[in-house]
Amino acid sequence: MSGYIIKRVISAIVTLFLVATLTFFLMYLVPGGPFLSEKAPSQQTLKALEEKYGLDQPIGVQYLNYMKRLIRGDLGTSLKMRGQEVNDIIKTRFPVSAKIGLMAVILAICVGIPLGSVAALNRGNWFDRLIMFLSTLGIAIPGFVVATVLMFFFGVRLRILPTFGLTSPLHYILPVAALALYPTAYISRLMRSSMLDVLGQDYMRTARAKGLSQFKALFKHALRNAVLPVVTYLGPMLAGILTGSFVVEKIFTIPGLGSQFVGSITDRDYPLIMGTTIFLAFLLITMNVIVDIAYKIIDPRIKLK
């Protein structure tokens, strides 16, 4: 077990290192370096800035300095918001996104798992078909479409839900629903197929044959086994919700990290783009490692390599 964990952590560090290196060199492809902006700074200011940030040194030295700063957790300074550290921006913005993202994760799990299980138990009848139809639709519709359509109907047409900012609990409903739709649809499909698989297993027949009630057999045997594939989906789901948050936060003008990231892309604020990318990559890679290890612990049938 510990061998597996060590291996997994090392590979995560390698991946993160690669992402950071790639980020650094991509920064070099941008003409004018990190100080490019609409108001071109004078030759002198540029030189002073370059000296201040060590950009006049050879690329190898710069790379080493950059890596040293990264290891200390310093992501640099924003270009457009003068004097603001990328770290501080992330610190104020990220909790907002994390809150919405977490709500969406919980919603997707709490709705997706029951829907998928009930669909599997009613295989072939109208309920199953309805769930499968809706989830097929939910997977095919891009997040920005879901978010804007929700905003249009509930915010603009019916005027029952607010569509701007995050000041009351009511404000959370639309963004969380928009974020959760795709993972909910995915989980219910995943859950249905794995539940069907489990229901056909010998141990389910044994459980019923030895006199266990339908209820007990379902909750003690079927659900526990069928839920395993959903655990493997947790990693990709986090990535999906993160991607979704870029769009959803932009549409609902939520002051989170997602809308900040999109804004920094529009502003071409390269240090902020790079810093946020590295932070989010770190987050996702760490989560993936945790999910992988958790999966091995939950399912003892999987051999640890």
Contact map string, positions 185 to 204, toward another protein, x by CB under 8 A: --------x-----------
List the one residue from 97, 135, 184, 277 that touches another protein (CB under 8 A). 277
Token pair listed for 113: 């798992």
* Rounded Cα–Cα distance for residues 221 and 225 (Å): 6
Helix, strand, or coil (residue 85): strand
Q: How far is the CB of 21 from another protein (least distance, A)?
A: 12
Asked if 148 is part of the footprint of another protein (rule: CB under 8 A), the reply reads: yes
Whether 249 and 171 have beta carbons less than 8 Å apart is answered as no
Q: Which is nearer to another protein, 183 or 207 (CB)?
A: 183
Beta bridge partners of 85: 77
Asked if 118 is part of the footprint of another protein (rule: CB under 8 A), the reply reads: no
Span near another protein by CB under 8 A; candidates 19-27, 54-62, 105-113, 212-220: 19-27
List the one residue from 95, 114, 142, 165 that touches another protein (CB under 8 A). 142
Asked if 285 is part of the footprint of another protein (rule: CB under 8 A), the reply reads: yes
Give the Å distances, CA to CA, from 174 to 146, 154, 262.
Answer: 10, 8, 20
Whether 1 and 304 have beta carbons less than 8 Å apart is answered as yes
Asked if 206 is part of the footprint of another protein (rule: CB under 8 A), the reply reads: no
Contacts with 33 (C-beta within 8 Å, 6 or more apart), sequence order: 27, 50, 55
Q: Say how many C-beta atoms besides its own lie within 10 A of residue 26's C-beta.
A: 13
Interface ranges with another protein (CB under 8 A): 11-12, 14-15, 18-19, 22-23, 26-27, 29-31, 136-137, 139-145, 148-149, 151-152, 156, 193, 239, 242-243, 246-247, 250-251, 262, 265-266, 268, 270, 273-274, 277, 280-281, 284-285, 288
